[in-house]
Structure 1
Amino acid sequence: MVVFINKCIICFEPTRRFEKVSEACGHECTCRLCVRKHIEAELNTKTAINIRCPKPGCRVKLTYHDIKRLVSKETFERYDNLLLCHAIRKLKDFRWCKNPECGSGQEHTTGDDEPIMTCIACHSKSCFTHDVPWHKDHTCDEFSEKIQTENETANQAYHDSCLAAYDRILQFGNHHHKSTCQYYSAYDGEDI
C-alpha cells in the first residue's frame, strides 16, 4: 500500500497531517509548527492585527478563535494584548502615560478643558492637549506658543545654514548648490 505524503507549503517538509488554518477558507496546506511560526512572525513584524492565511493568493483573515486554536498560550496573550491596544487607540480621550517606566494609560474625559492628567498607576503628570509630560511653569497656550517659536527658530536656523539661494538654482541649475549638497551637480558649461 502506498501512502501519499504531502509537503507543507512553508517548510516543504513531508507531513501526513496538515493543520486547518481557518474555518473560513478551509486550507489545510501547512504543518502546525509553520502555522504557529507564520502567526508569530506576523505579530513580530507588524503592528497590524489582521493576520491572513499563509496560502499564496488566499486573502482570508484569521479569526480570533482561529488564532487562539493555533498558537501557544503566550503568543495568544500577545495577540490579545495587541487587539486591546488597537481598540484603546481608537478612543479619542485615551492617552498613554508619558513616564517611560510606566506603560499604563487611561481615559481623560475632561479633555482640553482640564488638560493635566495624573496617571492612576504611577502618578506622573502629563498634558492631555499636547500629549507630552506636563509642562510646568507654562499654560497650554504658553506652551503652544513656545513650541511654535522654537520650531520657527529651528526652521530658520536650518534654512540659514543648509539651504542655497533657490532663485539662482532655479534660474541657472543645480551647480549653484553648495558642493556638499546632495543636489549639487557639476557644470562644465560657462557659468552665468
Structure 2
Amino acid sequence: MKRKTCLTCDRHLPANAFPKINEECQHERETCRRCWYQWLALQLETKQWDQITCAQCPTKLGQADIRALAKPAVYTKYLEAEIRGTMAAEESFRWCLNPECKSGQAHFDGDIFTCASCGHKACVGCNAPWHEGETCEAYQDRINEGERKRRQVVEEQDSAKAVERVAKLCPACGRKLEKNGGCDHMTCQICRHEFCWSCLAHYSPILTIGNSAHEESCRYHSRNLPGYRPALAMF
C-alpha cells in the first residue's frame, strides 16, 4: 500500500490515513486524519465558526467539510456555533441573559425582553437583568457608582500593599520608617533600635545566637534558609 508523510506530525502513514479535503483546495492531501482532528478543534476554539480554514491553505471550510474531517463532538460544537452565529446576525434576535439558559428569540417591541424558555426578564435598553421599579438612568447611575466604589477599594488596597512594602513602624518607638533599598538589617534613625525589616525581630539576639532568633515565619530564619538540616536528637 502506498504510504506518505504527514506535513504536520511527520508520521509515515498509509495513503488512506489522509482524508479527502475541500474540492476548492488545489494541493495534495498531506495532512493525516489525527492532525485534522486537532486542527479543527483548535480552529473552533480560536476562530469564528465561519472563519475556519484548511490545514494546508487559506481556503475556508463549510459545514460538509467539518462533518467529514472533524470528530463528532467537534462537529456538534461547530453546528451549535453556526446556529448561534446565524441567529445572532438577525437584528431582532436577542439571547437570554440568564447564565443558566442558552435560549434566545426575536424581540421586536417593548423595553422588557422575556425569555420564552425560562421566563427571565431583561431590560432591552440596558442589556441587563430587568430592574423592577427603577428607571434605566437610575439603574445605570447605581451600577456606575458601584463600579466606581469597587475600583476605589481596589486602588486603596493596592496603595496599602505598596506602602506596606516600603514603610513600617519601628517596633521600639513606633515611628514610621521607609526602606529605600539595602539589606533588611534596619536601624531606626530616631531611637537607634536595630531590627529585621522582614519579621521585626530585635537584632541583638540575631547577632548573638544567629538566624534562629528571627521569627519562624521569616525568610531569614535558619530553617527557611537553603541547606538547612534539623539537628538530630541525641539519646
1:30 equivalenced with 2:31 (yes/no):
yes
C-alpha distance in structure 1 between counterparts of 2:6 and 2:150, whole Å: 56
Identify if the C-alpha distance between structure 1 residues 85 and 186 changes in structure 2 by more than 3 Å, giving closer, same or farther: farther
Question: Which of 3, 6, 9 is 1:8 aligned to?
Answer: 6
Q: Give the root-mean-square deviation of aligned CA atoms.
A: 2.9
C-alpha distance in structure 2 between counterparts of 1:26 and 1:36, whole Å: 21
The equivalent residue for 1:127 is: 123
Q: 1:178 aligns to what SS in structure 2?
A: helix
C-alpha distance in structure 1 between counterparts of 2:73 and 2:20, whole Å: 21
C-alpha distance in structure 1 between counterparts of 2:139 and 2:30, whole Å: 58
The equivalent residue for 1:105 is: 104
Contact 2:97 2:128 in 1 (8 A): yes
1:39 equivalenced with 2:40 (yes/no):
yes
User: Per-residue deviation at 1:187?
Assistant: 6.1
User: Per-residue deviation at 1:10?
Assistant: 3.1
- 5+ residue gaps, structure 1, are 165-176
User: Per-residue deviation at 1:77?
Assistant: 3.0
* Superposed CA offset, 1:23-57 (max 9, x none): 122331123343233223322x32522222222xx
The equivalent residue for 1:144 is: 140
C-alpha distance in structure 1 between counterparts of 2:116 and 2:70, whole Å: 33
- 5+ residue gaps, structure 2, are 167-178, 183-235
| Structure having the larger proportion of residues in strand | 2
Considering only CA atoms, is the larger Rg found in Structure 1 or Structure 2?
2
Query: Aligned pair count?
Result: 165
* Superposed CA offset, 1:131-157 (max 9, x none): 222222312121012112222333344
Q: Percent identity?
A: 28
Output aligned runs, 1:72-111, within 5 Å.
72-110=71-109
Contact 1:20 1:26 in 2 (8 A): no
C-alpha distance in structure 2 between counterparts of 1:14 and 1:24, whole Å: 24
User: Per-residue deviation at 1:14?
Assistant: 1.7
For 2:25, the aligned partner's letter is C
TM-score, reference length from structure 1: 0.69
Identify if the C-alpha distance between structure 1 residues 159 and 16 changes in structure 2 by more than 3 Å, giving closer, same or farther: closer
User: Per-residue deviation at 1:72?
Assistant: 4.8
The equivalent residue for 1:174 is: none
User: Per-residue deviation at 1:4?
Assistant: 4.8
For 2:42, the aligned partner's letter is A
- Range 59-68 or range 138-147, more displaced: 59-68
TM-score, reference length from structure 2: 0.58
For 2:4, the aligned partner's letter is N
Contact 1:8 1:30 in 2 (8 A): yes
